[in-house]
């Protein structure tokens, strides 16, 4: 199989061009980040990775071909980049599947469909601008350095005075913005010139580890307050300034407005408090809209603003966490999917068709906690969102088979999808042969059940009408949900709080039907499922696996220098990772780790990036991103290990996944 040796060759080629370019910028491919590979590419290229990877590619692909997963259902029509052609069954669809979900997947895709991705997140030619400006742009400072608002139109072509000056910054802000570390400005991360930063491999990456050193600094405290509620403005306005100051300290905001400018949702603060800001944002957006020239994003006061227009809605992300535009768009897309999930597309469209000034808050009532749960997940940092992939509970293949069979045996006629989910991880799925489940739909469901509190706090069984936009954005399905506590198994006390997030200590049985009257059928099925899972021992296996939690990196690769990794199997649209223990136990440490992953992810998914391997060295960590047609691997080690040690560990991880593939991933799943 040639890809991988080609891959590493491409990487070093790219490295060379990048070197040239850094002297006399010219090739359109790549930019600052591309050139970071320059030095590393040479070494990485020679590293065992290149050689190893050509070996590793065989087995997984063979496995995939054994059990091809049926294609995912088409994406909603608003995702016009959807490639219908990709649904034809066959092994190739393993990859093309992902390009069939462009909007959601915009950042997480394969080398094979890279071109698609680049256009996906910038539906309209911004790609051209980006590439073009990369030629002429000096790598520049992190976003935060600009004091005043500068706008970047993501569009090529138009050459107003404004955009010309602005354009030259665009690539660095998109690429460089994510290079900036979390809390970077406070940590004094910017040593050396910005140009040096971007051209060198030695730029300051977010420090995911050293939480002790910075634990007391102002920014850290701020991040711990990120989710504190901002109180409403008093009637006399006495506390307005204070609340506004708090609002400004938030590292991340999400706003949703109607195109008529009506506020629909904002994560922090009430409408009164931020109406001024909403007005400004709306004015800016409509200024460009008026010029028939959609605004994609801009940077102001150290924050990146990304704007997504979806039918009658504008969704805005404002981030000081260093995510790039594509990554923020994936997040906005998820919020939009939640709105569709509540309303369905026809309802949303009709509401605005009937009255452009519709106040969507009312029809969306009750959806706010779901949107906020998503928003906070993104702010904390979310591997599934970054990778657009699902995580499964690791159990033996034969054990999963028993669970699958149980679901199939007890299946009732009205069932569309049946799922067992433990602690936010998928245990088993049954589905009709012709429909697969869309990861973005599962993200909405998991968010509703495991992140938001509403459903679980109800303490009963649930019957939930919801639209799963990936399945069908035009109508509702009905979901039966019941939780089984993971702790009260076999008389054993579950006081060991080793599972990583206490609030997710639940096993959920989800049974989805298109029939709204099928509650009692599904309830009966649920009883039979739980009864049989109890009898055949599966339930205690699931509970034990949940309580065991994820293995640590050193459990997986004894003696490894790795502290954490993310491994995404592209074909399965699933990922696996070790425990956050022992290095990333605090919220801040995790956020820093995730920021580093975002940086790595951005480098290997940058437009025109051809790199397969990307190294990143900072004062506090050394890390690696490695992309092949089969997988994406992101690994992080402490500051001291050599690249060689890191590469060796990366190879070990790949070997581990290959060995454990049918345990860490659901391959095929059960179909009926």
Footprint of another protein (CB under 8 A): 342-343, 362-363, 365-366, 369, 448, 452-455, 457-466, 478-479, 482-485, 516-517, 519-520, 523-524, 526-527, 530-531, 534
Distances 26 to 20, 21, 602 between C-alpha atoms, Å: 8, 6, 21
- Tokens of residue 144, six digits: 């935060």
Q: Specify the residue, 498 or 524, whose C-beta has the smaller distance to another protein.
A: 524
Q: Specify the residue, 389 or 442, whose C-beta has the smaller distance to another protein.
A: 442
Which H or E run contains 303?
strand 303-310
Q: Specify the residue, 283 or 349, whose C-beta has the smaller distance to another protein.
A: 349
Q: How far is the CB of 44 from another protein (least distance, A)?
A: 48
Point out which residues pair with 564 in neighbouring strands: 636
Q: How far is the CB of 61 from another protein (least distance, A)?
A: 40
Q: Specify the residue, 188 or 235, whose C-beta has the smaller distance to another protein.
A: 235
Which H or E run contains 576?
strand 574-576
Q: Specify the residue, 492 or 527, whose C-beta has the smaller distance to another protein.
A: 527
Point out which residues pair with 625 in neighbouring strands: 614, 634
- Tokens of residue 639, six digits: 């500051």
- Tokens of residue 63, six digits: 């496995």
Q: How far is the CB of 526 from another protein (least distance, A)?
A: 8
Pick from 25, 126, 40: nearest CA to 647: 40
- Tokens of residue 257, six digits: 């407005």
Q: Confirm if 331 and 378 have CB atoms less than 8 A apart.
A: yes
Within a 10 A sphere around the Cβ of 354, how many other Cβ atoms?
8
Residues 569, 63: Cα–Cα separation, whole Å: 12
Q: Specify the residue, 362 or 640, whose C-beta has the smaller distance to another protein.
A: 362
Q: Specify the residue, 366 or 558, whose C-beta has the smaller distance to another protein.
A: 366
Q: Specify the residue, 83 or 347, whose C-beta has the smaller distance to another protein.
A: 347
Q: How far is the CB of 478 from another protein (least distance, A)?
A: 8
Q: How far is the CB of 463 from another protein (least distance, A)?
A: 5
Q: How far is the CB of 399 from another protein (least distance, A)?
A: 19
Q: Specify the residue, 292 or 354, whose C-beta has the smaller distance to another protein.
A: 354
Q: How far is the CB of 449 from another protein (least distance, A)?
A: 10
Q: How far is the CB of 466 from another protein (least distance, A)?
A: 8
Q: How far is the CB of 471 from another protein (least distance, A)?
A: 17
Within a 10 A sphere around the Cβ of 448, how many other Cβ atoms?
24
Q: How far is the CB of 534 from another protein (least distance, A)?
A: 7
Q: How far is the CB of 378 from another protein (least distance, A)?
A: 19
Pick from 220, 279, 129: nearest CA to 588: 220
- Tokens of residue 618, six digits: 């900072």
Residues 482, 459: Cα–Cα separation, whole Å: 9
Q: Confirm if 88 and 101 have CB atoms less than 8 A apart.
A: no
Pick from 629, 618, 622, 620: nearest CA to 650: 622
Q: How far is the CB of 481 from another protein (least distance, A)?
A: 9
Q: Confirm if 142 and 117 have CB atoms less than 8 A apart.
A: no
Q: Specify the residue, 212 or 457, whose C-beta has the smaller distance to another protein.
A: 457
Q: How far is the CB of 467 from another protein (least distance, A)?
A: 11
Q: How far is the CB of 518 from another protein (least distance, A)?
A: 11
Q: Specify the residue, 216 or 517, whose C-beta has the smaller distance to another protein.
A: 517
Q: How far is the CB of 108 from another protein (least distance, A)?
A: 29
Q: 328 by DSSP, 3-state: which?
A: helix
Q: How far is the CB of 544 from another protein (least distance, A)?
A: 16
Ordered strands of the 562-569 beta sheet: 390-391, 574-576, 562-569, 631-637, 622-627, 613-617
Q: Specify the residue, 290 or 366, whose C-beta has the smaller distance to another protein.
A: 366
Residues 96, 210: Cα–Cα separation, whole Å: 40
Within a 10 A sphere around the Cβ of 470, how many other Cβ atoms?
26
Q: Specify the residue, 531 or 555, whose C-beta has the smaller distance to another protein.
A: 531
> Running DSSP on this structure, what letter comes out for residue 376?
H
Phi and psi angles of residue 67, each rounded to the nearest 5 degrees, phi first: -130, 75
Residues 363, 342: Cα–Cα separation, whole Å: 9
- Tokens of residue 233, six digits: 């403005």
First-last CA distance in the chain: 34
Tokens 């660095």, residue located: 172
- Tokens of residue 454, six digits: 């509403």
Q: Specify the residue, 482 or 572, whose C-beta has the smaller distance to another protein.
A: 482
Q: Specify the residue, 395 or 455, whose C-beta has the smaller distance to another protein.
A: 455
Contacts 24+ apart (CB under 8 A), 136-139: 136/25, 136/168, 137/25, 137/31, 137/168, 137/169, 137/170, 137/171, 137/172, 138/168, 138/195, 139/31, 139/32, 139/172, 139/176, 139/194, 139/195, 139/197, 139/198, 139/199
Q: How far is the CB of 641 from another protein (least distance, A)?
A: 45
Residues 191, 205: Cα–Cα separation, whole Å: 11
Tokens 């290149």, residue located: 50
Residues 282, 285: Cα–Cα separation, whole Å: 5
Q: Confirm if 358 and 386 have CB atoms less than 8 A apart.
A: no
Q: Confirm if 481 and 455 have CB atoms less than 8 A apart.
A: yes
Q: Specify the residue, 290 or 460, whose C-beta has the smaller distance to another protein.
A: 460
Q: Specify the residue, 294 or 414, whose C-beta has the smaller distance to another protein.
A: 414
């Amino acid at each position: 199989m040639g890809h991988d040796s080609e891959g590493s060759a491409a990487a070093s080629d790219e490295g060379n061009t990048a070197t040239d370019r850094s002297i006399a910028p010219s090739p359109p491919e790549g930019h600052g980040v591309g050139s970071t590979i320059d030095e590393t590419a040479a070494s990485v290229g020679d590293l065992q990775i290149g050689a190893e990877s050509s070996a590793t590619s065989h087995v997984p692909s063979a496995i995939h071909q054994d059990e091809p997963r049926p294609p995912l259902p088409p994406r909603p029509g608003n995702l016009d980049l959807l490639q219908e052609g990709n649904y034809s069954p066959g092994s190739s669809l393993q990859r093309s599947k992902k390009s069939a979900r462009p909007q959601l997947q915009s950042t997480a895709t394969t080398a094979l469909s890279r071109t698609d991705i680049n256009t996906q997140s910038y539906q309209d030619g911004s790609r051209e601008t980006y590439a073009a400006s990369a030629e002429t742009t000096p790598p520049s400072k992190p976003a935060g350095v600009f004091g005043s608002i500068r706008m970047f139109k993501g569009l090529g072509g138009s050459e107003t005075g404004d955009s010309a000056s602005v354009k030259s910054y665009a690539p660095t802000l998109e690429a460089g913005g994510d290079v900036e570390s979390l809390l970077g400005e406070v940590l004094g991360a910017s040593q050396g010139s910005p140009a040096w930063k971007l051209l060198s491999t030695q730029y300051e990456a977010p420090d995911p580890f050293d939480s002790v050193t910075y634990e007391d600094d102002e920014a850290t405290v701020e991040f711990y307050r990120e989710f504190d509620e901002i109180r409403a403005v008093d009637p006399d306005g006495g506390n307005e300034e204070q609340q506004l100051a708090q609002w400004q300290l938030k590292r991340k905001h999400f706003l949703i407005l109607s195109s008529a400018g009506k506020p629909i949702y904002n994560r922090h603060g009430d409408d009164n408090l931020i109406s001024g800001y909403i007005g400004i944002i709306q004015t800016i957006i409509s200024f460009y809209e008026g010029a028939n020239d959609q605004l994609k994003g801009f940077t102001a006061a150290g924050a990146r603003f990304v704007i997504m227009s979806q039918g009658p809605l504008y969704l805005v992300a404002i981030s000081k966490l260093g995510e790039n535009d594509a990554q923020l768009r994936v997040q906005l897309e998820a919020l939009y999917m939640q709105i569709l999930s509540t309303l369905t597309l026809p309802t949303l469209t009709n509401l605005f068709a009937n009255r452009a000034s519709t106040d969507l808050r009312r029809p969306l009532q009750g959806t706010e906690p779901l949107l906020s749960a998503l928003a906070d997940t993104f702010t904390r940092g979310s591997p599934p969102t970054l990778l657009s992939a699902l995580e499964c509970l690791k159990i033996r293949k034969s054990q999963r088979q028993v669970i699958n069979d149980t679901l199939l045996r007890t299946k009732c006629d009205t069932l569309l999808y049946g799922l067992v989910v433990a602690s936010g991880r998928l245990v088993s799925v049954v589905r009709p042969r012709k429909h697969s489940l869309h990861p973005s739909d599962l993200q909405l469901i998991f968010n509703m059940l495991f992140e938001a509190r509403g459903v679980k706090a109800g303490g009963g069984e649930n019957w939930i009408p919801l639209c799963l936009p990936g399945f069908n954005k035009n109508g509702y399905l009905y979901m039966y949900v019941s939780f089984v506590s993971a702790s009260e198994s076999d008389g054993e006390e579950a006081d060991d709080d080793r599972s990583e997030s206490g609030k997710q200590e639940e096993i959920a049985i989800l049974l989805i039907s298109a029939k709204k009257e099928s509650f009692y059928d599904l309830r009966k099925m649920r009883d039979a499922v739980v009864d049989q899972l109890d009898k055949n021992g599966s339930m205690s296996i699931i509970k034990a696996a949940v309580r065991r939690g994820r293995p640590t990196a050193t459990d997986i690769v004894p003696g490894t220098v790795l502290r954490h990794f993310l491994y995404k199997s592209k074909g399965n649209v699933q990922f696996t990772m070790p425990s956050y223990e022992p290095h990333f136990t605090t919220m801040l440490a995790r956020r820093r780790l995730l920021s580093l992953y975002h940086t790595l992810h951005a480098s290997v998914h940058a437009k025109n990036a051809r790199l397969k391997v990307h190294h990143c060295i900072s004062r506090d960590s050394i890390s690696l991103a490695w992309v092949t047609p089969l997988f994406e691997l992101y690994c992080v080690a402490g500051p001291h290990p050599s690249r060689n040690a890191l590469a060796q560990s990366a190879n070990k991880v790949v070997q581990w996944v290959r060995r454990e593939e049918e345990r860490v991933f659901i391959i095929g799943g059960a179909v009926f």
